[in-house]
Structure 1
């Protein structure tokens, strides 16, 4: 699939320069940026869900307690 992106001259020069400096193509640069954005949003959603669960039941366990509970001391 081909996707086109319209850029002004200044943005195009910046993106090309950054890609060249990091030894990647513009396609790799954009693909990596989009994947990082998606991953960041997913991580934030998981964090918020975890925080909500913790706020409902604020119980924490130390590493040693978890090992003991799992029988892997």
Structure 2
């Protein structure tokens, strides 16, 4: 397992520890979950932007009923 260190001031340290305690998680879990969530959000946003660009270049639509038929096959 890798250890990552970072520098924060006393007020930030207190706030982070209080938040972790209030949510019944460790500071390590708080940082890990927050960073991974941020990465996932950015990946999702990138995929959305890519899909929107592709849609603008070649717009296609499908009715809700047709989508249900396609997904049920």
Between the two proteins, the alignment pairs up a number of residues equal to 72
Give the match for residue 54 of structure 1: 55
Q: What do residues 10-68 of structure 1 show as CA deviations (whole Å, max 9, x unaligned)?
A: 00000001000000000000000100110010000000000001101111112211234
Q: CA RMSD in A?
A: 1.6
Cα distance change, pair 5–54 in 1 and its aligned pair in 2 (3 A):
same
Gaps in structure 1 of 5+ consecutive residues? none
Displacement over 6 Å in runs of 4+ = none
TM-score, normalisation: structure 1 = 0.88
Q: 1:43 — aligned with what?
A: 44
- Per the alignment, residue 2 of structure 1 pairs with 3
Distance 1:72 1:31, change over 3 A: closer
List gaps (5 residues or longer) in structure 2: none
